[in-house]
Structures are given as structure tokens and as C-alpha cells.
Amino acid sequence: GSDIRGEDDVLALQSLPSFNETLGPAESELLLTYLTAPYLRVPLLLGFFMDRARLSLLREPQLQAVLDAALFEPGPWLSAEDAVRGPPKTVPGPDRKHLGTPAGFLY
């Protein structure tokens, strides 16, 4: 497969995965594009599959695995020590620790 790091990489793909012919090219492109958005990935995917016409797509094990991986990806963790420290004093912050949560992306 191709290494996809962003939306431009999705748009440049010669062939899109069909997930065992469950998705058409437009839906596949949309799904892959959603997967490239780190902090918006979960709500975008839930919105994608919440549509009545797409809910049945989750019968496909590959799509179940994609959703499962996105939902339970650990994401950036915020330690108790970093939580006490509070938000950064400058913008941009000196590091990305302040973007973490106690439960990763699920918080």
C-alpha cells in the first residue's frame, strides 16, 4: 500500500481501497481523508458511520477494524504532573504535552 500522511496523499492515490467492494471511490476517499485528521478523526468517523445509509457498512470486518483502531488509538497522554503544571505560558507552547488528556483521544 501507499504511505499516506495527509489529505494530499489521499487525493494522489491511483486506486482507492474498496474494503471488499463495500465503499465506492468517493466514500473511500472521504473515509481515508478523515483518517488523516488526528484530533478530528473520531468525531468525523462517527458522523460518517452515523448516517443511516452507511451504518450497514460496519458489517464489513475491515471497516470495523478501521473504526476500532481510530476509537481506541491511545493518542497523547497527559500525566498527573503535566496536568498540575497547567496550560503553557507562551503561544506556541514549548512542547505539545498540553495537548494530551488523561485518556488520550477518548477524553
pLDDT tens profile 10-55:
877 888 889 999 999 999 999 999 999 888 899 999 999 999 999 9
Q: Is the pLDDT of residue 106 over 70?
A: no
CB within 8 Å of 9: residues ≥ 6 apart: 2, 3, 36
Q: Is the pLDDT of residue 8 over 70?
A: yes
What average pLDDT does the segment 67-72 reach?
Answer: 90
The residue that leads in pLDDT, 96 or 24, is 24
Distance, CA of 103 to CA of 83 (rounded, Å): 12
Query: pTM of whole model > 0.75?
Result: no
| pLDDT score, position 31 | 94
| pLDDT score, position 49 | 96
Confidence band, pLDDT 50/70/90 cuts, at residue 3: confident
Planar angle of CA 72, 84, 43, nearest 5 degrees:
25
Q: Is the pLDDT of residue 71 over 80?
A: yes
